[in-house]
């Protein structure tokens, strides 16, 4: 069985770099129907999968060793737009809600100088906001103005991506909806503040310029990059590494154009260099794209000093057909989670497939009701601990009905041969 899986992985990897024919409607799978609990430990379960969705999980380890998770909730009910705080005192075996705030979306938990912070937006899209808690996430400040956490008003976007401390400053990536472009045209930028500053003071934060992605750079249907990770490079600089939606424009060649032809479509991310003063980001489309597995959905990148490597967990596309028709473009596939690693941020390798469900089949938003996505994670000794936005027989793969917790044991030694059996029928 393992040999067959390795053969399948090899065939898929070989196909990823070349042209593949478009999927046809007759190739579509049956509607996903799974039973029983989802993989992992349930942190939160939707009370109504048709109307009540959950997403944007973030996780930290508190000084006392307990775990704190935030996630937002959406849908058609009176708690939509809230962020919920969940805690575990038994290393993730059980969870209980400890707090909840309204008007908070797409947020990252982080710790600084004895306090816990939650940074994100007030809505989807919304104002840039930050809150502080001094009691482990139970109560939070209210971002009512520029002195109490309202960083900027407008239409902003982000995801639970890392907050980084580097060279005396705190860094976080955001995007802004372009006013004169389609609603999904994101201008990528970074915010930074001195470590010693009051992080609730808007005046403490410096904002860079914002750059939008151009469709002709990769011959894509949409010009979208989003959900950036601020990462310290091996050379000691900073980059904003963004997810890039690279499904091709109608009639465009499957291969990426020009200098980026070596990168498989659906595995391309963008790295925007950040100036040392935090005021400028830049991008050169001939050199600043990366081959990055899991780049079609939100990912988290962190550096591990013990191994000297960068690590990420992302939703891998294992069926990279052309899929011009929106119904079944490959970016809908979020049923395979891969652990990846790099020493230089440019060359990434797949180390293990952590969760797998129908990994070789075409999926659609309507028929696929299983999704593992938007994972956030932390190092915990020899292990990784992670939280996942999980759709398990949800309304569809995207509108998740669970937040789940996972422990990846001895992650530094894992290989593809350690990938667990596929889930589901």
**Burial status of residue 318 (CB atoms within 10 A of its CB: 0-12, 13-18, 19 or more):** buried
The confidence score (pLDDT) of residue 323 equals: 62
Mean pLDDT of 413-423: 96
The confidence score (pLDDT) of residue 57 equals: 98
Residue that has been written with the tokens 């988290």 in this structure: 300
The confidence score (pLDDT) of residue 11 equals: 28
Which residues face 150 on adjacent strands? 129
N-term to C-term CA, the chain: 16
Mean pLDDT of 380-406: 97
Query: What are the tens digits of pLDDT across the range 314-365?
Result: 999 998 877 667 777 888 899 999 999 999 999 999 999 999 998 877 788 7
Asked if 313 and 300 touch (Cβ cutoff 8 Å), the reply is yes
Nearest Cα neighbor of 253 from 1, 7, 5, 22 is 22
**Local structure of 79: helix, strand or coil:** coil
Residues in the chain: 425
The confidence score (pLDDT) of residue 29 equals: 56
Half-sphere exposure at residue 367, Cβ-oriented, CA atoms within 13 angstroms:
15
Asked if 375 and 58 touch (Cβ cutoff 8 Å), the reply is no
Nearest Cα neighbor of 308 from 345, 337, 272 is 345
In order of their start, the domains of the chain are 29-418 (2.120.10.10)
Q: Name the percent of the chain lying above pLDDT 70.
A: 91
25 falls in which pLDDT band (50, 70, 90)?
Answer: very low
Rounded distance, CA 341 to CA 56, Å?
A: 23
Query: What are the tens digits of pLDDT across the range 79-91?
Result: 999 999 999 999 9
Which residue would you say has higher pLDDT here, 321 or 235?
Answer: 235
Nearest Cα neighbor of 33 from 329, 331, 358, 317 is 358
Provide the whole-model pTM.
Answer: 0.92
Rounded distance, CA 168 to CA 197, Å?
A: 10
**Local structure of 262: helix, strand or coil:** coil
**Burial status of residue 250 (CB atoms within 10 A of its CB: 0-12, 13-18, 19 or more):** exposed
Query: What are the tens digits of pLDDT across the range 183-211?
Result: 578 999 999 999 999 999 999 999 999 99
Rounded distance, CA 329 to CA 362, Å?
A: 8
């Amino acid at each position: 069985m393992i040999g067959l899986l390795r053969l399948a992985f090899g065939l898929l990897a070989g196909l990823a770099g070349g042209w593949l024919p478009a999927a046809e409607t007759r190739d579509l799978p049956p509607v996903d129907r799974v039973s029983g609990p989802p993989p992992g430990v349930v942190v939160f379960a939707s009370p109504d999968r048709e109307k009540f969705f959950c997403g944007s999980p973030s996780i930290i380890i508190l000084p006392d060793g307990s775990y704190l998770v935030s996630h937002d909730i959406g849908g058609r009910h009176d708690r939509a737009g809230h962020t919920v705080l969940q805690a575990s005192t038994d290393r993730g075996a059980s969870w209980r809600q400890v707090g909840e705030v309204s008007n908070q979306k797409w947020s990252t938990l982080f710790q600084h100088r004895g306090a816990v912070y939650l940074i994100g937006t007030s809505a989807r899209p919304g104002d840039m906001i930050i809150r502080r808690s001094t009691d482990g996430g139970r109560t939070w400040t209210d971002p009512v103005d520029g002195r109490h956490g309202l960083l900027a008003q407008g239409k902003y976007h982000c995801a639970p991506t890392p907050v980084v401390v580097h060279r005396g400053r705190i860094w976080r990536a955001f995007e802004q909806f372009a006013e004169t472009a389609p609603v999904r045209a994101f201008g990528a930028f970074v915010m930074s503040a001195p470590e010693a500053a009051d992080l609730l003071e808007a005046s403490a934060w410096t904002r860079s310029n914002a750059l939008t992605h151009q469709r002709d750079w990769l011959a894509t249907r949409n010009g979208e990059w989003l959900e950036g990770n601020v990462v310290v490079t091996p050379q000691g600089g900073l980059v904003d590494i963004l997810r890039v939606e690279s499904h091709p424009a109608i009639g465009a060649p499957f291969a990426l154009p020009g200098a980026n032809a070596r990168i498989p479509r659906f595995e391309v991310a963008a790295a925007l260099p950040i100036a040392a003063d935090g005021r400028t980001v830049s991008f050169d489309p001939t050199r600043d794209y990366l081959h990055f597995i899991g780049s079609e959905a939100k990912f988290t990148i962190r550096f591990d000093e013990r191994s000297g490597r960068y690590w990420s967990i992302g939703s891998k596309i294992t069926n990279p057909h052309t899929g011009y028709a929106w119904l079944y473009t490959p970016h809908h596939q979020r049923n395979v989670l891969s652990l990846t690693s790099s020493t230089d941020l440019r060359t990434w390798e797949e180390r293990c497939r952590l969760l797998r469900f129908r990994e070789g089949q075409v999926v659609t938003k309507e028929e696929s009701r299983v999704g593992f996505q938007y994972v956030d994670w932390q190092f915990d000794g020899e292990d990784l601990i992670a939280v996942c936005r999980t759709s398990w027989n949800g309304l569809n793969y995207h509108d998740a009905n669970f937040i789940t917790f996972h422990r990846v044991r001895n992650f530094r030694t894992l290989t593809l041969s350690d990938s667990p059996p596929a889930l589901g029928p």
